[in-house]
């Protein structure tokens, strides 16, 4: 298995197609998606564009959908939820469809939605995603970080490196044997540096600092840093719609 890391949606190659794409947005979209599905949401619909989101949500009865999202880390006015993994509790999301738009994560998902298999990963479900990729016998995998408005993000690269190590553990091999580009090798080294204290890395990252300036997000940081706290693998069911299989 060869794994290429694209730190931002803009870094995704314009040609070629992997067997699978794994999208990461640790702070906080893919963490939120994982917890929403774990806690009983029936689907998460993802949108880069807010007008598209509102039109799609309008086709679902009000009692069966929730609007969720943020821009710049702040919840969107008029939406039921922001982009917090600790807010998507069973009492809130069970039996509901989430219509989600975020600054970076949903844009990354849109960039690779034509890939035949699309999964989402966070620090919470590393082992589950690694085991799913091994079970599917994927030869060529892209890990796609969401970044921040087109620029590199430390926390997504941390999780990309963590996923590579989890995959190598499942395959009982050296992580470096699976690196498909220098970006992947660098991400693997980043995880080795911070694996004993991932929350500190999340807080050091520029987006982590941005969230701290916006308010008290301690619960979000703890949740987002929780390695293997989830066993779900959010999977694209059809373009732009994630669920569990």
For domain 2-243, the question of CATH label 3.90.1560.10 is answered with yes
What integer pLDDT is reported at residue 83 of this predicted model? 97
Neighbours of 145 (CB within 10 A): 30
Domain ranges within the chain, ordered by starting residue:
2-243
pTM of the model: 0.97
pLDDT tens for residues 115-156? 999 999 999 999 999 999 999 999 999 999 999 999 999 999
- Higher-scoring residue by pLDDT: 219, 14: 219
**pLDDT more than 70, % of the chain:** 100
Whether residue 28 has a cis bond before it, omega within 30° of 0:
yes
What integer pLDDT is reported at residue 210 of this predicted model? 96
Mean pLDDT of 10-26: 95
What integer pLDDT is reported at residue 244 of this predicted model? 98
Neighbours of 219 (CB within 10 A): 12
């Amino acid at each position: 298995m060869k794994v290429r890391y694209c730190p931002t949606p803009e870094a995704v190659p314009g040609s070629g197609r992997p067997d699978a794409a794994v999208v990461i947005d640790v702070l906080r979209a893919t963490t939120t998606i994982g917890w929403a599905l774990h806690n009983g949401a029936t689907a998460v619909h993802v949108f880069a564009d807010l007008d598209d989101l509102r039109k799609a949500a309008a086709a679902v009865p009000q009692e069966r959908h929730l609007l969720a999202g943020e821009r710049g880390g702040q919840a969107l006015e008029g939406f039921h939820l922001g982009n917090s993994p600790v807010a998507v509790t069973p009492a809130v999301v069970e039996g509901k469809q989430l219509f989600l738009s975020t600054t970076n994560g949903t844009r990354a998902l849109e960039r690779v939605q034509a890939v035949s298999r699309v999964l989402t990963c966070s620090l919470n479900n590393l082992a589950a995603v690694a085991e799913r990729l091994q079970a599917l016998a994927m030869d060529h995998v892209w890990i796609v970080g969401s970044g921040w408005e087109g620029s590199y993000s430390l926390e997504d690269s941390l999780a990309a490196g963590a996923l590579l190590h989890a995959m190598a553990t499942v395959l009982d091999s050296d992580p470096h044997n699976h690196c498909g580009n220098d970006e992947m090798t660098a991400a693997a080294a980043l995880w080795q540096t911070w694996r004993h204290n991932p929350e500190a890395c999340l807080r050091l990252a520029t987006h982590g600092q941005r969230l701290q300036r916006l308010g008290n997000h301690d619960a979000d940081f703890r949740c987002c840093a929780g390695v293997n706290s989830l066993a779900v693998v959010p999977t694209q069911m059809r373009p732009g719609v994630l669920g569990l299989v």
